[in-house]
Amino acid sequence: MHWHPKTSRMIRKFYLLLLLSILCTFLGATAFAQRAGSGADQIASFANDLSWLPTEGEIFGLPVNIHGQSTYINQRYNNFTSSYSGLNSMSALKSMSYTWSGTLFVGARLAPDTDFYFNPEVVSGVPFSGLTGLGGFTNGEATKAGGAQAKFYSARAFLRHTINQEGDKVVLEDDANQITQTVSSNRVVITAGQFSTLDIFDDSRYAKDPRIQFMNWGNMTYLAYDYAADARGYSTGLAGEWYLDNWVLRASRMLAPKTPNGRDLNWQIFNTYGDQVEVERQHHIDDLPGKVSVLAYRNRMILARFQDATNYVIANNAQGTQAINNVRNNYQYKTGVGIHGEQALTHDLGIYGRAFTSDGHTETMSFTEADNSVSVGMGMNGTSWSRPSDSIGISMMQNGLSSYRRGYLQAGGVSYFIGDYASASQTISYRPERIGEVYYNALLVKNVLGGVNFQHVQNPAYNSARGPVNIVSFRIHAEF
């Protein structure tokens, strides 16, 4: 079989990135074992070697594209003050954590307006304290990490169909999970298959991707948004988007996990699910883009109610146990609503803000332990200091618990991610969890960013008796 020259180069690139992912995983595990360097020089050199390869071509007459990324994040903190610890407390002793991911973004245009995308992914890593002890976790990749051994899996496999209507022509440039396409400003887009709810909802120019922007979960999306997903953050479902000039309406139904924060999804989509709807209004102020969006969700799943769990703890003197497991026996609805706004102040600088509240009656279904959250921040590129590919970001977050969840923890209960119970007189001293985050990314060589990140966490897991914690991070990100 004879391949088109572009196709041959793309196939070589596919195998090169697969090799890069395996190399990244090996180096990540070695770094954790030795608590030393990350192999950044090797990755930077390898990624730079890929920069000449094309990302679009044809296979069997179908337009295709291939992109890829690999990201290593190393985080550490020193001992911090802790009056006591519990089953799900963040360790108060000096600690190090790392994650390493490699992803291929493979796409094919099956018909003029229909694309298929597949994203195989490999991840290794060890999160702080087994991923417990915080509401706003400090690494957006940590939810995927399950140990130093590499795990290969499908992250996404979905169809996207576009129905163009009358309107201005818009060119969508070649990118990960996007083959170059000309669409109408007025269109309907249908996505079906395996993907992340966050691929469709709550997009942000300044705070979205922990691989290249802020790392904290509270900057990936609204921290109190309990979006439907498996333990890695992906799900399967159907989403629709209606673009009408400056307006966008989005809605979807996604599969929920079989058990809260579980790996396996429940395919009974009419019994257990996560629904969301979002309305977005885009605008320009002095030719500078901005937008405002409102998002609401409703989950249905067998979940524990915190009032029932609190009653169980008190009645059975069951402090320190996961009482929520013993009262998880009925279908419950969980709802929430939030608002997100962002605005470019110059061509290089922009600001954003998010605020969200959930009803707080039931345990977390898929994301993290928060019932209300607020985040604000800014992002800026380095054009003004002659480094346009560099970027800097600063943010502040505050996360809170409902009175129902707070009462359960103060009675001595433990939930999925948090629970500092040590004795009847040592349960959480509730305060909102407050986090400040700042990062800087620098272009090392073509296609490779190196970055540093600092996060200051007050009242980790909503407990003023512990912390603060100062976390320093190093990140290297390569892509093509």
Q: Which residue positions in the chain have pLDDT lower than 50?
A: 1-4, 7-8, 10-39, 42, 46, 50-52
Domain ranges of the chain: 5-479
Please tell me what DSSP assigns to residue 144: G
Please tell me what DSSP assigns to residue 407: H
215 closest CA partner among 20, 38, 435, 404 = 435
Written out in words, the top-level CATH class of the domain with range 5-479 is mainly beta
Which secondary structure element, helix H or strand E, spans residue 265, and what is its range? none
% helix / strand / coil in the chain, to the nearest 5? 15, 50, 35
pLDDT in tens, 373-404: 999 999 999 999 999 999 999 999 999 999 99
Residue 229, beta-bridge partner list: none
> Could you give the CA distance from residue 72 to residue 80 in angstroms, rounded to a whole number?
25
Q: Strand (E) positions, 230-384?
A: 235-244, 247-255, 273-285, 288-303, 330-344, 349-358, 372-382
> Could you give the CA distance from residue 232 to residue 223 in angstroms, rounded to a whole number?
16
For 382, counting Cβ atoms within 10 Å of its Cβ (0-12 exposed, 13-18 middle, 19+ buried), the class is middle
Tokens of 388: 């346009």
pLDDT at 322: 84
Report the largest interatomic distance among the alpha carbons of the chain, rounded to a whole angstrom.
74
447 closest CA partner among 77, 19, 43, 5 = 43
Tokens of 48: 């730079």
> Could you give the CA distance from residue 360 to residue 347 in angstroms, rounded to a whole number?
40
Cα–Cα distances in Å, from 373 out to 217, 219, 401, 436?
11, 11, 9, 13
Residue 152, beta-bridge partner list: 122
pLDDT at 14: 44
Length of the chain in residues, anyone? 480
pLDDT at 21: 43
